[in-house]
Structure 1
Amino acid sequence: METVLPFFEQVNLNFDKAGGYTNYPPGLLEQIKICNSVYHMTFPLKRDDGKIETIHAWRAEHSHHKLPTKGGIRYSTLVNEDEIMALAALMTYKCAVMDVPFGGAKGGIQINREMYSVSELERITRRYTYELIRKNFIGPGIDVPAPDYGTGAREMALILDTYNALTPDKLDALACVTGKPVEQGGMYGRKEATGLGVYYGLREACNFGEDMKLLGISPGLEGKTVVVQGFGNVGYHAAKFLQEGGAIITGIAEYAGAIHNSRGLDVEKVESYRNENGSILNFAGAATIKNPADALELECDILVPAALENQITSENVHHIKARIIAEAANGPVTPAAHDILKKRGALIIPDTYLNAGGVTVSYFEWLNNLSHVRFGRVGRRFEENSRKDLMIAIEKITGKRFSEEEVTQLVHGPEEKTLVNSSLEDTMSVAYNEIREIRNQHIEGVDLRTASFIKAIHKIAISYMELGIFP
Structure 2
Amino acid sequence: MTTAPLISLTWTDHVTGRQGHLVIDRLVRGVSSGGLRMREGCTLDEVTGLARGMTMKEALHYDPRKRYIPLGGAKGGIDCDPRDPQAYGVLVRYLRAMRPYIERFWTTGEDLGLTQDIVDRAVAEAGLVSSVQAVYPLLDDEAAARRRLADAFAVEVDGIGLDELAGGCGVAESVLTALDRAGVSREGTRVAVQGFGTMGGATARFLARAGLKVVAVADVKGTIANPEGLDVEALLAARDAYGTVHRTALRAHDAELPAGAWLSADAEVLVPAAVSYAVDTANQARVTARWIVEAANMPVLPDAEDLLSARGITVLPDVVVNSATNAWWWWTLFGDIGADADEAFAHIRRSMRALVEQVLTRAERDGTSPRVAAHAVVADRLPVIAERLGWYA
* TM-score, length basis structure 1: 0.72
* Structure 1 residues 269-328: Cα deviation after superposition (integer angstroms, max 9, x where no partner): 122334499645572221111x21122011111111111122111101121010111111
1:328 aligned residue: 295
CA distance in 2 between counterparts of 1:334 and 1:459 reads 25
CA distance in 1 between counterparts of 2:56 and 2:326 reads 12
Q: Is the 8 A contact 2:12 2:20 kept in 1?
A: yes
Residues 280 and 318 of structure 1: CA distance in aligned 2, closer, same or farther (over 3 Å) = farther
Q: Which runs of 5+ in 2 are unaligned?
A: 63-68, 156-161
| Alignment counterpart, residue 176 of structure 2, candidates 187, 197, 203 | 203
Aligned partner of 2:173: which letter? Y
| Alignment counterpart, residue 113 of structure 1, candidates 69, 82, 94 | 82
| Alignment counterpart, residue 191 of structure 1, candidates 139, 148, 164 | 164
2:280 aligned residue: 313
The alignment status of 1:102 with 2:71, answered yes or no, reads: yes
| Alignment counterpart, residue 304 of structure 2, candidates 337, 354, 360 | 337
| Alignment counterpart, residue 460 of structure 1, candidates 370, 379, 382 | 382
Residues 182 and 152 of structure 1: CA distance in aligned 2, closer, same or farther (over 3 Å) = farther
Fraction of identical pairs, as percent = 23
Deviation at 1:142, TM superposition (A): 2.0
2:256 aligned residue: 288
Residues 180 and 303 of structure 1: CA distance in aligned 2, closer, same or farther (over 3 Å) = farther
The alignment status of 1:138 with 2:102, answered yes or no, reads: yes
SS, match of residue 321 in structure 1 = coil
CA distance in 1 between counterparts of 2:4 and 2:101 reads 18
Q: Is the 8 A contact 2:92 2:123 kept in 1?
A: no
Which protein shows a greater Rg?
1
The alignment status of 1:127 with 2:60, answered yes or no, reads: no
Within a 5 Å distance, the mapping from 1:230-249 to structure 2 comes to 230-249=195-214
Instruction: Name the Cα RMSD after superposition.
Output: 3.1
Residues 459-468 or 328-337, more deviating: 459-468
2:23 aligned residue: 60
Within a 5 Å distance, the mapping from 1:40-439 to structure 2 comes to 40-45=10-15, 53-65=16-28, 67-99=30-62, 101-116=70-85, 120-133=86-99, 136-139=100-103, 142-161=105-124, 162-164=126-128, 172=136, 183=150, 186=153, 188=155, 189-208=162-181, 212=182, 218-275=183-240, 279-281=245-247, 283-284=250-251, 285-289=253-257, 291-367=258-334, 375-376=337-338, 416-439=340-363
CA distance in 2 between counterparts of 1:450 and 1:163 reads 42
Q: Is the 8 A contact 1:228 1:304 kept in 2?
A: yes
Within a 5 Å distance, the mapping from 1:26-45 to structure 2 comes to 30=2, 33-45=3-15
SS, match of residue 341 in structure 1 = helix
Q: Is the 8 A contact 1:302 1:323 kept in 2?
A: yes
SS, match of residue 148 in structure 1 = coil
CA distance in 2 between counterparts of 1:181 and 1:39 reads 33
Q: Which runs of 5+ in 1 are unaligned?
A: 1-14, 16-29, 46-52, 213-217, 369-373, 377-414
Q: Is the 8 A contact 1:156 1:180 kept in 2?
A: no
Deviation at 1:111, TM superposition (A): 1.0
Q: Is the 8 A contact 2:220 2:244 kept in 1?
A: no
SS, match of residue 146 in structure 1 = coil
CA distance in 2 between counterparts of 1:171 and 1:200 reads 28
1:22 aligned residue: none
Deviation at 1:165, TM superposition (A): 6.2
CA distance in 2 between counterparts of 1:230 and 1:427 reads 25
CA distance in 2 between counterparts of 1:366 and 1:40 reads 30
Deviation at 1:156, TM superposition (A): 2.8
* Structure 1 residues 237-295: Cα deviation after superposition (integer angstroms, max 9, x where no partner): 10011000000000011122111110000111122334499645572221111x21122
* TM-score, length basis structure 2: 0.85
Would you say how many aligned residue pairs link Structure 1 and Structure 2?
Answer: 370
